[in-house]
């Protein structure tokens, strides 16, 4: 199921910053600075630790699971970005900022956005080519219906004979 993508602040070129945008940008800068101060103090990761993290994160997201967006950043620049197709918004409810490639503002809060379309079409579904029941050869340990019917009749006859003896 594909998300119904939202729009905000369209047309992007005419978007006027709100007090909420200024507040979100100020908060994003404070958080970014706090993280930078603490990352500098953290011990460096070994190559083994980086490899563990790569394995934990798994392979990169395939192109057909990505959505293209046009974003207006706090600095006023309009950029294109790719995000997961699962979310109806480019921030995905998690990251509402980006680094501006034009002026370098980092972080730059996303203030307006519009979807552009998927990065790629999904690959065609692979259909399994299992043979039908009628064309499959029965496994060696399976007996035919005629064999089972014959065995059933023989067992019933044996049961009747035992009942007659009793």
pLDDT confidence of residue 137:
60
- Report the DSSP beta bridge partners of residue 83: 67
| Rounded-to-integer distance, Cα 16 and Cα 74, Å | 10
pLDDT confidence of residue 97:
86
pLDDT confidence of residue 160:
85
Pull the structure tokens for residue 80: 């294109």
Name every residue whose Cβ is closer than 8 Å to that of residue 96 and which is 6 or more positions away in sequence. Answer: 24, 28, 109, 110
**96-118: average pLDDT:** 93
pLDDT confidence of residue 122:
86
Side-by-side strand order, sheet with 66-73 = 78-84, 66-73, 108-118, 97-98
The radius of gyration computed from the CA coordinates of the chain, to the nearest angstrom, equals 32
**132-139: average pLDDT:** 61
pLDDT digits (tens, 9 = 90+) for 51-102: 999 999 999 989 999 999 999 999 999 999 999 898 899 987 667 888 999 9
| Rounded-to-integer distance, Cα 83 and Cα 68, Å | 7
pLDDT digits (tens, 9 = 90+) for 3-36: 789 999 999 999 999 999 999 999 999 999 999 9
Whether residue 78 contacts residue 70, with contact meaning beta carbons closer than 8 Å, is answered with yes
pLDDT confidence of residue 143:
80
């Amino acid at each position: 199921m594909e998300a119904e993508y939202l729009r905000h602040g369209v047309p992007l070129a005419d978007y006027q910053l709100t007090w909420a945008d200024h507040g979100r940008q100020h908060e994003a800068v404070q958080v970014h600075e706090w993280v930078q101060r603490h990352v500098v103090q953290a011990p460096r990761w070994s190559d083994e630790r980086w490899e563990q993290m790569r394995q934990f994160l798994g392979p990169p997201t395939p192109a057909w699971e990505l959505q293209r967006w046009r974003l207006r950043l706090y600095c006023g620049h309009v950029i294109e970005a790719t995000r997961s197709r699962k979310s109806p918004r480019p921030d995905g409810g998690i990251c509402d900022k980006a680094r501006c490639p034009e002026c370098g503002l980092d972080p730059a809060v996303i203030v307006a956005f519009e979807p552009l379309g998927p990065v790629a079409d999904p690959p065609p579904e692979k259909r399994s080519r299992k043979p039908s029941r009628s064309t499959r050869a029965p496994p060696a340990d399976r007996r035919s219906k005629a064999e089972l019917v014959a065995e059933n009749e023989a067992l019933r006859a044996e049961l009747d004979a035992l009942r007659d003896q009793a």
